[in-house]
Amino acid sequence: MALIETILPESAKGELREIYDGLIKSRGKIADVHMIQSLNPESITRHMDLYMTIMFGESPIKRVHREMMAVIVSKANQCEYCQVHHMEAVKSYWQEAQRVEQLRSDYHHAGLSEVELAMCDYADIVTRHPERANDESLIAPLKVHGFSDRAILDATLVIAYFNFVNRIVLSLGVTLEDDPGGYNYE
């Protein structure tokens, strides 16, 4: 149960109703992470703009890899809500539920490529050790695997975004929906 008031879709009016309708149209349904922001509808819009840019915008990093990093960051932060939501997204790409669960439990044994491991290591270390974030050795493995500066920026944006969202979810008591899947992942 959320720790603050939320306005459910059936009670939404005006701007919030329009935002909820837009989320249903573009994403397939409304996530509780958006409803937790219902007292400040503009924050939902700005949040979705940022989310769509980072997770769906043009990038040298594939969508599935962005979702993998979301799982790794959320696991490091012990954010069950975001882990499950983004595992669903990875599952939509991999079509292997057991492998996705292995990604969450120990990504080193999930059959990832060296490039994917480098991304997950970067996400894990930057999340667990933010004091090391300006350590050049953290991005060295990404550069070894051919990551451009743009790709490194985009990976860092994914990591920072999920640290932000994990804090919202955990601080405000957002609970996992009964059906966390079924969103538009493409």
* pLDDT tens digits in sequence order for the chain, 186 residues long: 799 999 999 999 999 999 999 998 988 888 999 999 999 999 999 999 999 999 999 999 999 999 999 999 999 999 999 999 999 999 999 999 999 999 999 999 999 999 999 999 999 999 999 998 788 899 999 999 999 999 999 999 999 999 999 999 999 999 988 877 666 666
pLDDT at residue 182, as a whole number? 67
Phi, psi of 101 (to 5 degrees): -65, -35
Q: Are residues 78 and 52 in the same domain?
A: no
Does some domain include residue 177? no
Does some domain include residue 178? no
Residue-number span of the structural domain to which 125 is assigned: 63-172
Q: Are residues 44 and 122 in the same domain?
A: no
Length of the chain: 186
For the beta carbon of residue 128, count every other beta carbon within 10 angstroms. Answer: 12
Does some domain include residue 49? yes
Q: Are residues 98 and 165 in the same domain?
A: yes
pLDDT at residue 28, as a whole number? 83
Q: Are residues 47 and 77 in the same domain?
A: no
Does some domain include residue 179? no
In the numeric block, which tokens belong to residue 68? Answer: 């993998």
- Quote the Cα angle for 169-182-165, to 5°: 20
Q: Are residues 96 and 122 in the same domain?
A: yes
CATH of the domain at 155: 1.20.1290.10
pLDDT at residue 135, as a whole number? 87
pLDDT at residue 133, as a whole number? 79
Q: Are residues 133 and 67 in the same domain?
A: yes
CA distance 18 to 125: 39
Q: Are residues 84 and 140 in the same domain?
A: yes
CA distance 142 to 17: 43
pLDDT at residue 180, as a whole number? 72
Q: Which residues, 6+ apart, have CB-to-CB distance to 127 below 8 Å?
A: 72, 73, 76, 77, 159, 162, 163
Map residue 77 onto helix, strand or coil.
Answer: coil
pLDDT at residue 155, as a whole number? 98
If you search the block for the tokens 């979301």, which residue do you land on?
A: 70
Does some domain include residue 185? no
Here the contacts of 78-86 (C-beta below 8 Å, separation 24 or greater) are 78/170, 79/165, 79/166, 79/169, 79/170, 80/176, 81/32, 81/33, 81/169, 81/174, 81/175, 81/176, 81/180, 82/33, 82/162, 82/165, 82/166, 82/169, 84/176, 84/180, 85/31, 85/33, 85/180, 85/183
pLDDT at residue 177, as a whole number? 82
Q: Are residues 101 and 77 in the same domain?
A: yes
Does some domain include residue 184? no
> Where would I find the H helices in 28-79?
32-35, 41-56, 63-76
Q: Are residues 89 and 163 in the same domain?
A: yes
Q: Are residues 50 and 70 in the same domain?
A: no
- Give the pTM: 0.93
